[in-house]
Structure 1
Amino acid sequence: MMFYVSPSLAAFVLMIVPPIAGLAVVYGRYLRSISRRMQDSLAESTQLAEERISNLRTVRAFGKELSEVEKYVEKVNHVLVLARKEAVLRAGFFGATGLSGNLIVLAVLYKGGLLMGSEHMTVGELSSFLMYAFWVGVSISGMSSFYSELMKGFGAGTRLWELLDRKPEFPLNEGIELRPGQLKGELEFRNVSFAYPTRKDAPILQDLSLHIPAGSVLAVVGPSGSGKSTLVSLLLRLYDPDTGFITIDGHDVRELNPYWLRSHIGTVSQEPVLFSCSVAENIAYGAMDPSQVTVQDVHRAAHMANAYNFVQDFPQGFHTLVGEKGILLSGGQKQRIAIARALLKNPKILLLDEATSALDAENEFLVQEALERLMQGRTVLIIAHRLSTIQNADAVAVLDQRRVVECGRHAELLGNRHGLFRKLMEKQAFLQADRKQVLCE
C-alpha cells in the first residue's frame, strides 16, 4: 500500500530495512552462540553443585567446604558474565530496531513534506502513508523480537536436539522373546574379545570362552582389572563384544530383546544403589509391575533376605526413607535390601558382583545366608574374592591376561600348587591369618 500511494516515498523510507535485516542476521548468530554457551555453563555449575552436595560427607571429611564454594562461585560468575553480554547485546539490538521505527516515521514526515510542497502528494495521501509506515515500523519491531527469541531458543535447544537425534546403538524393545518357561539359563561366552569404546587400545577380554550350565553356580575370580565385572556388563548387554558371541540357551544375546533379557536377569552389586524413597518401594522396584506388588510380597522378600527384623526396628518400618543412594543405611542393610529386590524379581539368571566383599563378618554371614536362598534353582555367575563365597560354587573360573586360565571345581584348583587360583587363595589365607594374629596381640 505504501508503494501504491507513493512509490518514490516508499523506496526512500524502506531503504532502512536492508541494514536492519543484516544487523538482525549477525545479532541472531551471536545470540544463538551465547545462548548455547550460557546453557553449557549453567549445566556445569548445576552438575558441580549436585555432585558436591550428594557427596557432602566426603567434602566435609577432607575439609573442602570453602574451596568447593569458591569453585561454585566461579562457575556462577561465568554464567553471570555471559548473561551480561547477552543483556547488552539485546539492549543494543532492540534499541537499534526501535530507533529504526522512529526514523521511518521521521523520514516520512520530512520527505512527505517536501513532496507536498512540490504538489506531488496531498495531505490525505501523506496521512494514509504515515499510518502504513507506522504499522510497518511496529511489524519490524515485532519480527525482530520474535527472531531474537527464536535464536535464543535455537541456542538453548541445540544440546537437546543432539540427544533426540542420536540413534541408540542397542534397540530398547526389539528382538526375540522366548516363550514363558522356555528360558533355562544356560550361558556361554565363545571367543569373546572386548575393549571399552573410550579405551579401544586397552582390551579387557581377548578370545575368552566360558560355559555355565543351566541351574549351576560359577564363581569367577582373578586379579583386579582382569575383566570380571565386564562379564556382567556384557551379559546385561550394556555393551556388545567386539568379536565372538555370548549366548543364552543357544540364542545370541544380540538377537534377544534387551528389555525382555534384563527382566530375567537379577543383579546384586558390591555397592548397591538404592533410590531416595521408602524401603518398601526399593524392594518393590524389582518387580515387573511394582503397582501389583502386595505388602505380603515385600515382607516375604525381606524375610528371605534377612532384612525384615532390622527394617521393622525402624520408627516407620517399611515406610522409612533410605535417603539419596541409601545413605541412611549401613552397607549390610543396603546389601540385604538389594537382595530382597532381586528375590522379588525372581530372575532365572543371577549376577552377583562381589556382593559381600565390603562387609564385616556378621553382616557377611547374614548376607551370605540370604544369597544362598536367592541362588536356589537359578543360573548364577558370582564375581568374588572371598573363600566363603567361592567354596560353595559348582565350578570356579580364574581370569588373567584377558582370558580364562583355569576352570574347574574349587578343590581341584586348590590342588594345583602352581595354579593362579592356589596363589590367590594362599594370599587371602595369609592375610586373614595375619589379621587374626594382630587382633590377638
Structure 2
Amino acid sequence: MGMPAEKSMNFGPSAKRLIGRLRPDRALVIFVILLGAISVVLSVLGPKVLGNATNIIFEGVISAQLPEGATKQDVIDGLIAAGNTQQAEMVQGMNLNPGHGIDFNALMIVLGIVLLLYVVSSVFMWLQGYVLNGITQRTVLRLRRDVEDKIHRLPLSYFDKQPRGELLSRVTNDIDNISQSLQQTLSQLLTSLLTVVGILIMMFWISPLLAVIAIIAVPLTLGITVVIAKRSQKLFVAQWTHTGTLNAQIEEGYTGHALVKVFGRHKEVEARFDAKNQELYQASFGAQFISGIIMPATMFVGNLVYVGIAVVGGLMVANGSLRLGDVQAFIQYSRQFTQPLSQLGSMANLLQSGVASAERVFELLDAEEQSADPVPASSPQHGTGRLAFENVSFRYDPEKPLIDDLSLVAEPGQTVAIVGPTGAGKTTLVNLIMRFYEPGGGRITLDGIDTQQMTRDDLRGRTGMVLQDTWLFGGTIRDNIAYGRPEASEEEILDAARAAYVDRFVHTLPDGYDTVLDDEGGNVSAGEKQLITIARAFLAKPSVLILDEATSSVDTRTELLVQRAMSALRKDRTSFVIAHRLSTIRDADLILVMESGAIVEQGTHDELLAARGAYARLYEAQFAAPVDSDDAAA
C-alpha cells in the first residue's frame, strides 16, 4: 500500500526540474561556466602550441641535413630534378633553414608557453570544482530543508498510506543519491560539453577535412547513448523503488523483532527479505550493466575515428598540405574529442540514477498538503476548555460511512470517557479534535471558536495528548518530560513528575532524572514509559487533555495513583479518556458509548448500568463473563 509503481520515468522534465533547483545560485553558476570556458580554452590551445614544438624539432633535423646557404626553393628544385616529387611537396609545407639544426631557444619558449597554459588551466579547473561543490551542497541542503518542511505540512492520511521505511528512504537514500549524482556529473558534464565545442573549433581551424571525419563520432555516440539509456532508465527507477520497499520491510522487521521471535516467524521474514533483496539485486545489476555498455561502445567508435584521422592525416603530410606538428595536434584533439564524448556516455548512468531519485523526492514534494491555516486566525480569549461537536460527519473512505451528524458538548472541568467496540470511532474523535483529519461536515468548537478558524499550532498548544503507544526519544528522563513545555523551570518539571508518579521510580535509577533513555525507552518498563509521557502532558498545562488508553500499560496500583493525580489536575480542564477497561472510567463525569460512529448512550457509570443498554452489555462482558464461566465450571 502506498508503493510507487515501477513505471518508466519522464526523464526530461524531471532532469529540468532538478537543474532548476540551482536557480538561487545562478550568478555562481554563470561564474562556474566562465571559469570552465577559460580552463577549456587554455587546455585546448595546448596541443596546437605543442604541435609547433614538434615542427621545430622535425624541421630542425631536416634542415641540419641540407647544405648551408641553400634556399628552400633550391632544395625543392633539386628534389624535383631528382624525380622525388612527393618529397618536394612535403618540403614545400615546411619552414626550413638549411645548414642549421634545431632552434632550442624557440623550442624552450614554445614548451614554456605550453607549461603555462596547462598550469593556468588546472588552476581555473580547480577553482571551478571548488565553487561548483558549494553550489551542489547548498542545492541539496535546500532540498532537504524543503522535504523537512513538506513533511510537516502533509496530512496524517499521507503517513497512514506510506510505510515508514519507504518514506525514510526517500528522505535519506534518494537525497544522498541526488547529491552524489550532482557532485559527480555537473562538473564533468560542463567541462565535457565546453571541451567538445573548443576542440571542434580547433580541429576546423587545422583541417576541415579531418574535422568532418572526427564529427562522425558525435551522432554515433549520441545514438548509442540514447538507445542504451532508454533501456536502463526503467531499471534505475525499479532499483530505487525496490530500495525503498526493502527499507520499509527492514524497518518493520527490526521494529517488531521481539514479536517475530515470539511467533517463530524469522524464517518467513528472512524469505521475504531474500526475495525483495534479489529483486533489488536484479534491478541494480541490470541498470548498471546496461548503462555500463555505453562507455565501451563510445570508446570503440572513438578508436575507429582515430584510425581514420591517422591515415588521412599521414597522406596530407605526405602531399605537403599539412605539417607534421598539425597532424600530431589533431590526433591529440581527436583523443580529447572522443574522451569527453565517452565521459558523457559514462555519466548517463549517474544522471539516470540521480534523476530517478529526484523524481521520487519530487513525488513527495508534490503530495497534497493539509489545508492552510486561516489568515487572520481566531483564538479563544479564555482557555477554559469547553469543547463541542456540532453535527459533525466524517469518513475515511467516501464509500464507507463512519460518523454522521454527531453532536456532543464537553464542559470545562469535565472528564468525558469514550467507550465502545473496536472500530466504533473513538480514536477518530481524537483525530478530529487535534485536526489530524478535517470533518466532512459540521464543526468542532473550542471555547466557542471553530477549530478550523484556529491555527493548528494554537489548537494543539491548548491540547495535551497521551497515546497508548508511548513515544520517547534519545535523551534524559528530564528532557523527555520537558518536551511538553521546553521553557518550563526545573521545579515545574519536578512537580509534573511527582503528579504523574514518575518521581516514585526515578530515584531507583542510578542517574535519577539524568538517566539517558534510548529512542525506544528500552531501559525502563512499559508502565514507567507511560508515566513519563503522562508527566509530559501534565507539564504542557493544556486546556484539553486527551488520554487514549493511556493507562493500559500501567499496573493496577499505579493506575489508581494516576487516576488520583488526574482528578486533581482536571480542574478547569476538559479531559477525554478513551478506554476499553471500564474500571478506569467509573468516576468520569460523562460516559459516551459509541457504536458505528454514533453515540448510542451517554450518562454516568451508574446511570448507564441502570439503563441496561449497550454500556451495561460491555460492562457485563468484562466483569460478569468470567464469573459465569466459573459457575459453569463449578
Q: Normalising by structure 1, what TM-score?
A: 0.88
- Aligned match of 2:617: 423
* Residue 530 (structure 2) pairs with residue 335 (structure 1): yes
- Aligned match of 1:347: 542
Distance 1:173 1:254, change over 3 A: closer
In the TM superposition, residue 235 of structure 1 has moved relative to its aligned partner by: 0.6
In the TM superposition, residue 346 of structure 1 has moved relative to its aligned partner by: 0.9
Q: CA separation in 1, counterparts of 2:233 and 2:398?
A: 36
Q: Structure 1: which 5+ runs fail to align?
A: none
Correspondent of 2:367 among 166, 170, 179: 166
What do residues 234-284 of structure 1 show as CA deviations (whole Å, max 9, x unaligned)?
111111112221122222222211122112111122232222433222211
Letter in 2 for 1:283: I
Question: Does the aligned pair in 1 maintain the 2:413–2:573 contact within 8 Å?
Answer: yes
* Residue 385 (structure 2) pairs with residue 185 (structure 1): yes
- Aligned match of 2:592: 397
Q: CA separation in 2, counterparts of 1:277 and 1:58?
A: 26
Letter in 2 for 1:243: G
In the TM superposition, residue 422 of structure 1 has moved relative to its aligned partner by: 2.9
SS in 1 for 2:346: helix
In the TM superposition, residue 228 of structure 1 has moved relative to its aligned partner by: 0.8
- Aligned match of 2:444: 246
- Aligned match of 1:270: 468
- Aligned match of 2:217: 16
In the TM superposition, residue 184 of structure 1 has moved relative to its aligned partner by: 2.6
Letter in 2 for 1:219: A
Correspondent of 2:562 among 361, 367, 375: 367
Q: Structure 2: which 5+ runs fail to align?
A: 1-200
What do residues 103-140 of structure 1 show as CA deviations (whole Å, max 9, x unaligned)?
22222112323445566545454344333323322221
What do residues 210-235 of structure 1 show as CA deviations (whole Å, max 9, x unaligned)?
11123322222222211011100111
* Residue 273 (structure 2) pairs with residue 37 (structure 1): no
SS in 2 for 1:103: helix
Q: CA separation in 2, counterparts of 1:31 and 1:172?
A: 44
- Aligned match of 1:225: 423
- Aligned match of 2:453: 255
What do residues 4-35 of structure 1 show as CA deviations (whole Å, max 9, x unaligned)?
43333322331221121122223334444323
In the TM superposition, residue 297 of structure 1 has moved relative to its aligned partner by: 2.9
Question: What is the 5 A alignment of 1:426-441?
Answer: 426-431=620-625, 433=627
* Residue 327 (structure 2) pairs with residue 133 (structure 1): no
Letter in 2 for 1:56: H
What do residues 75-129 of structure 1 show as CA deviations (whole Å, max 9, x unaligned)?
3333333332233224311111222332222221123234455665454543443
Q: CA separation in 2, counterparts of 1:295 and 1:358?
A: 27
Question: Does the aligned pair in 2 maintain the 1:350–1:381 contact within 8 Å?
Answer: yes
What do residues 354-378 of structure 1 show as CA deviations (whole Å, max 9, x unaligned)?
2234544223212322332332320
Letter in 1 for 2:370: E
- Aligned match of 1:107: 308
SS in 1 for 2:294: helix
In the TM superposition, residue 322 of structure 1 has moved relative to its aligned partner by: 3.7
Superposed CA RMSD: 2.7
Q: CA separation in 2, counterparts of 1:251 and 1:27?
A: 61
In the TM superposition, residue 396 of structure 1 has moved relative to its aligned partner by: 2.0
Letter in 2 for 1:89: I
Q: CA separation in 2, counterparts of 1:429 and 1:128?
A: 97
- Aligned match of 1:206: 404
In the TM superposition, residue 285 of structure 1 has moved relative to its aligned partner by: 1.4
In the TM superposition, residue 429 of structure 1 has moved relative to its aligned partner by: 3.5
- Aligned match of 2:287: 86
Correspondent of 2:478 among 272, 276, 280: 280
Letter in 2 for 1:95: P
- Aligned match of 1:195: 395
- Aligned match of 1:377: 572
* Residue 500 (structure 2) pairs with residue 305 (structure 1): yes
Which structure carries more helix by proportion?
Answer: 2
- Aligned match of 2:95: none
Q: CA separation in 1, counterparts of 2:442 and 2:480?
A: 36
Q: Normalising by structure 2, what TM-score?
A: 0.63
Q: CA separation in 1, counterparts of 2:234 and 2:306?
A: 34
Letter in 1 for 2:587: N
Distance 1:173 1:277, change over 3 A: farther
SS in 2 for 1:325: coil
Q: CA separation in 2, counterparts of 1:186 and 1:306?
A: 28
Q: How many residues align?
A: 432
Q: CA separation in 2, counterparts of 1:432 and 1:176?
A: 53
Distance 1:359 1:49, change over 3 A: same
- Aligned match of 2:491: 296
Question: What is the 5 A alignment of 1:50-69?
Answer: 50-69=251-270
Greater shift in the superposed pair: 237-246 or 316-325: 316-325
Letter in 2 for 1:235: I
* Residue 517 (structure 2) pairs with residue 317 (structure 1): no
Identical residues among aligned pairs (%): 33
In the TM superposition, residue 294 of structure 1 has moved relative to its aligned partner by: 4.0
- Aligned match of 1:414: 609
